[in-house]
Every structure is written in structure tokens, then in C-alpha cells.
């Protein structure tokens, strides 16, 4: 049995805390590191370990639940549920994806990341996507 | 008795002397600094000045305790710990302000394991029941030997070793110290549970839990000794020194655990440390207790209302001594 997945939060990042936690959870859900039937830690425990307010984690859980990844049952925590990935996207996702990717690249370049490092990360990401 | 007092205050002085080594390498006098800063010239100079102040206060105090006439021994022994703490406080805040320009304000990324494994208490948690058994056994011993207890017996001794406070053989006088110890032990159990479930998972958390249990034993044994003393007559110096059996190991364990951490630093933002890095106040942090930046161990997050409830209950427990004993 592999190690339990971890979630990362960078308080120095300009990206809001809710967005960081949501993105981190979504990556693990899409990659099936968090499989259906897995329970997530309570809002209180995760907030304490990350050192963020309860509401930040609760909002991240709500956003992920709204996307269909989680079942939030009062008093029973957050349960990962099976969610089929749509076969086709309802609108032209390529353009939106490209815009967001270019925006992200511009952002990290503005923060000082070297183009070669960015390119290497993109290559690694492409390999992961092709494997999945 | 003089020697016992010298031992206690020398230990207290050594404790103050070790203050710069009680925090992880990235914290010096509650200022976040590079990990190798304390080995550098500025860090070393700062530590030397601080320790020089402690020695300047400790040496005259020890001489006064050893050579002062009996009539001034009482005031000197009462003033000694306060003087040591005052000098430590002055030295600490002085060096804190001296080092502030060298502060490195970094906020490291944090990671949390996405696990729902229950946050179980450590295996040794059951030992917390021991002091209650000791207090119960002491009460039963007193009950069984009630007729042997003198009508009037000492419960407090001055610095010269002579008793200065007595109790009488009645329920309050005989069982009062045990009831007071029971309250204190219950408080320490509550504090232990609060520190376990109200702090982030780390090795230091286990060390703190163990130390709180050790303090519980110290209190249980000390007050049991005081309670059964009318029947057994322990030497006064032994009663005075008995807490050291627990305090010394507790201090060593906490200093070692805090100064050589195996966990990443606590995610406590620098701007939330007030009062020279001594008080932590962060309404956005759900933790009840966080790793200290001054001394070894944990401190309260004063933005968490449970910290006030715990501190308030401790004040009530301490004040109850006037009703109980």
C-alpha cells in the first residue's frame, strides 16, 4: 500500500489559498490518487495542519463537491465519489486551456522562473497526461 | 536547607542560561534567522551578552543564599526566582530587539497528509491515571491511620527549614493537599488532551504530552508527601528537592525535542507573534497550541477562545487553594 497522498499549500504564493487547495485536490482526483470511496480529512484537521482558517478548507471542499468529485454529508465528512470524465467538452476547451496555460506561464515568468525550467515542467506534465 | 535552595536556584539559572538553545536553529530570541546564524559572530555575541546577564544575577544570588544570615534568608529565597526571571526577560527582549534587523521573514510551503486515520493518543497516555492512584492510595493511608495523625502538624516550611504554617486534624486539614493536587492533575490531563488534539501533528507534540504527564506525577507525589508527612516525617530538604526528580528530565526532554526538530517549522506567520515574539495571536489559525519561539515547548494561540478557557480554569484551580487547604 502506497503512502497517503499529501496536499501542498504555499502561503507566499499570490494564488489564493482556496484556489491552491482546490487545484491540489483536483490534481489528485483526476490522477486517481484519491480513488472513489476515499474519505478526506475533516475540515478542522486539514485546516489545522495547513494553518489556514476552517472556512478556507470548507470552501475548497464545497467547490470540489460542486464539480461532482465529493459527497459532503453533514457529520460524516467528505467522501470521494465516482465521477465519469465527460467524453467531449461542451465548448471549445482548447482555446480556454491555451489562454489559461499562457497566463500561468506569464505569471511564473513574472515571478522569476527560468524559461528552461518551465519548458521542462511542461514536458513532464505532458508525459503524465499521456500515461493517464 | 540552604544547599537545597542553592541547588534549586542554580538549576533555575542553568535553565535560563539554556534559553537560546531551546528553540529550533532558525529561531534565536524569537527572531526568525538563518539556521547557521547562531554560530556566526552576531549570533554568538548576542548569546554571550544574554548569558553574561544571567551569570551576573545568579552568582551574587547563590553567594547571598550561602552566606546570608538566617533572618534575611527568607526574603532572599523569595526574591531569587523573580530576580532571575526579570533578568532573563530583560536580556531576552534586549537581544530580541538587537537581532530584529537580521530577521529573515520566509513563509515555507506546508504539506498535509490526506488521511482520515484517527489521531490516537500516544501509547503512554494511560500513565496519566497513575497520579490519581497515588492520591487515592495516600487518602486511604491517611484514613486508615487517622488516630495517629497529630492534632496539629506543619504543612509549609520557610527558607530556614522551620515550619511556618500548620493545619489541624480535620477533613479539610488532612485531605486538603490531596484535593488540591487532584484539581491540578485534572487540569494537566485537560491541558495534555488540549495540546494533543489542538496542535499540529509533530514529534514535539508527543514530547509535550509525556512532559505534562511527568508534571502530573510530580504534583501527585509532592502533595501526597506533604499530606502523609504528619505520619512519616520526611526531611524538609527532601520535600523541597523532590520536584527536581521530575522537572530536570522534563526540561532535558523538551529542550532536546525542541532544539533538534524532526518536523518542518510551524506555519505561524511572523506578524502574528506579538510582545517580542512571546505571544501568538492568529484568528486564521485553528490551532490551540503552537511551537514556542521563546523557550521549549508550546504556547497558546490567544485568538482561540479555548486558550482563555484553559488559562482561566488554571487560575481558578490555583486560587482554590485558599478554600481547600
Q: What is the pLDDT of residues B208-222, one digit of tens each?
A: 888 899 899 999 999
Given a contact cutoff of 8 angstroms between Cβ atoms, the answer to whether B87 and B171 are in contact is no
A62 Cα to chain B: minimum distance (Å): 16
In angstroms, the separation between the Cα of residue A36 and the nearest Cα of chain B is 14
> How much is the average pLDDT of A67-94?
78
Q: Which of B81, B325, B82, B65 is nearest to B182 (CA)?
A: B325
Residues 43-72 of A with CB under 8 A from B: 44-54
CB spacing of B112 vs A54 below 8 angstroms: no
Question: Grid coordinates in use for B137?
Answer: 492510595
- Note the pLDDT tens digit of each residue in B75-116: 777 888 888 889 999 999 999 999 999 988 777 788 888 877
pLDDT band at B279 (very low <50, low <70, confident <90, very high): very high
Q: How high is the pLDDT of residue B309?
A: 94
Q: Would the pLDDT of B178 be above 80? A: yes
Chain B residues close to A48, C-beta within 8 Å:
200, 286-287
Q: Do B109 and A50 touch (CB under 8 A)?
A: no
Cβ distance B110 to A28 less than 8 Å, yes or no, reads no
Looking at residue B64, its pLDDT comes to 82
Radius of gyration for the alpha carbons in chain A, expressed in angstroms and rounded: 16
Helices vs strands, H then E, count in chain B: 10, 9
- Binned at pLDDT 50, 70 and 90, residue B301 comes out as very high
A1 Cβ under 8 Å from any chain B Cβ? no
Average pLDDT over residues A78-99: 77
CA distance B175 to B49: 48
Question: Poorest-confidence range of A88-97, B171-180, B285-294, B310-319?
Answer: A88-97
pLDDT at B49 over 50: yes
Grid cell for residue B171 = 477533613
ipTM score of complex: 0.73
A70 contacts A60 by C-beta, under 8 angstroms: no
How high is the mean pLDDT of chain B?
87
Contact between chains at A9 and B109 (C-beta distance less than 8 A): yes
Closest CA to A80 of A95, A91, A65, A93: A65
Nearest-Cα distance to chain B for A42, in Å, is: 8
- The reported pLDDT for the residue numbered B261 is 65
CB contact under 8 A, A41 and B285: no
Average pLDDT over residues A40-50: 90
Residue A1 clears pLDDT 50, i.e. is over it: no
Q: Name the residue in chain B with its Cα closest to that of A25.
A: B114
Cα distance from A86 to chain B (closest Cα, Å)? 26
Nearest CA in chain B to A12: B107
Give dist(CA B4, CA B241) in Å, integer: 6
pTM (2 d.p.): 0.78
Q: Who among A12, A34, A53 is closest to B114 (CB)?
A: A34
Find out whether A20 and A35 touch, Cβ atoms under 8 Å: no
Which residues of chain B have a CB within 8 Å of the CB of A6?
111-114
* N-to-C CA span, chain B: 24
Share of residues in chain B with pLDDT > 70 (%)? 98
By the 8 A CB rule, do B300 and B280 touch? yes
Amino acid at each position: 500500500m502506497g503512502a497517503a497522498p499529501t496536499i501542498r499549500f504555499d502561503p507566499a504564493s499570490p494564488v489564493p489559498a482556496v484556489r491552491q487547495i482546490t487545484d491540489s485536490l483536483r490534481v489528485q482526483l483526476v490522477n486517481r490518487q484519491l480513488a472513489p470511496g476515499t474519505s478526506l480529512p475533516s475540515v478542522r484537521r486539514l485546516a489545522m495542519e495547513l494553518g489556514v482558517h476552517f472556512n478556507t478548507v470548507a470552501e475548497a471542499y464545497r467547490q470540489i463537491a460542486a464539480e461532482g468529485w465529493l459527497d459532503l454529508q453533514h457529520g460524516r465528512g467528505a467522501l470521494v465519489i465516482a465521477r465519469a470524465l465527460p467524453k467531449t467538452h461542451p465548448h471549445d476547451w482548447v482555446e480556454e486551456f491555451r489562454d489559461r496555460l499562457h497566463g500561468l506561464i506569464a505569471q511564473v515568468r513574472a515571478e522569476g522562473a527560468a524559461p528552461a525550467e518551465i519548458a521542462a515542467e511542461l514536458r513532464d506534465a505532458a508525459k503524465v497526461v499521456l500515461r493517464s | 536547607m540552604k544547599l537545597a535552595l542553592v541547588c534549586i536556584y542554580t538549576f533555575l539559572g542553568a535553565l535560563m542560561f539554556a534559553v537560546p538553545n531551546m528553540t529550533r536553529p532558525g529561531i534565536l530570541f524569537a527572531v526568525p534567522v538563518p539556521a547557521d546564524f547562531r554560530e556566526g559572530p552576531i549570533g554568538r555575541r548576542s548569546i554571550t551578552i544574554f548569558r553574561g546577564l544571567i551569570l551576573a544575577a545568579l552568582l551574587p544570588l547563590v553567594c547571598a543564599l550561602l552566606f546570608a544570615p538566617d533572618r534575611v534568608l527568607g526574603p532572599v529565597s523569595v526574591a531569587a526566582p523573580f530576580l532571575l526571571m526579570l533578568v532573563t526577560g530583560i536580556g531576552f527582549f534586549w537581544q530580541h530587539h538587537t537581532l530584529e534587523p537580521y530577521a529573515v521573514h520566509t513563509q515555507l510551503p506546508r504539506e498535509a497528509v490526506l488521511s482520515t486515520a484517527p489521531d490516537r493518543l500516544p501509547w503512554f497516555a494511560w500513565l496519566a491515571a497513575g497520579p490519581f492512584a497515588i492520591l487515592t492510595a495516600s487518602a486511604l493511608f491517611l484514613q486508615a491511620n487517622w488516630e495517629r495523625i497529630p492534632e496539629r502538624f506543619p504543612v509549609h516550611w520557610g527558607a530556614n527549614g522551620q515550619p511556618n504554617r500548620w493545619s489541624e486534624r480535620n477533613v479539610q486539614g488532612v485531605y486538603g493537599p490531596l484535593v488540591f493536587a487532584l484539581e491540578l492533575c485534572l487540569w494537566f490531563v485537560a491541558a495534555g488532551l488540549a495540546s494533543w488534539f489542538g496542535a499540529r501533528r509533530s514529534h514535539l507534540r508527543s514530547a509535550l504530552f509525556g512532559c505534562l504527564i511527568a508534571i502530573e506525577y510530580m504534583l501527585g507525589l509532592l502533595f501526597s508527601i506533604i499530606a502523609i508527612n504528619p505520619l512519616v516525617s520526611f526531611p524538609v530538604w527532601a520535600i523541597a528537592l523532590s520536584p527536581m526528580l521530575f522537572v530536570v528530565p522534563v526540561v532535558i526532554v523538551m529542550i532536546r525535542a525542541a532544539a533538534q526538530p524532526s518536523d518542518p517549522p510551524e506555519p505561524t506567520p511572523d506578524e502574528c507573534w506579538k510582545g517580542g515574539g512571546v505571544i501568538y495571536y492568529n484568528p486564521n489559525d485553528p490551532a490551540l497550541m503552537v511551537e514556542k519561539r521563546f523557550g521549549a515547548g508550546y504556547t497558546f494561540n490567544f485568538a482561540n477562545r479555548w486558550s482563555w478557557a484553559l488559562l482561566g480554569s488554571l487560575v481558578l484551580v490555583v486560587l482554590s487553594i485558599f478554600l481547600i487547604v
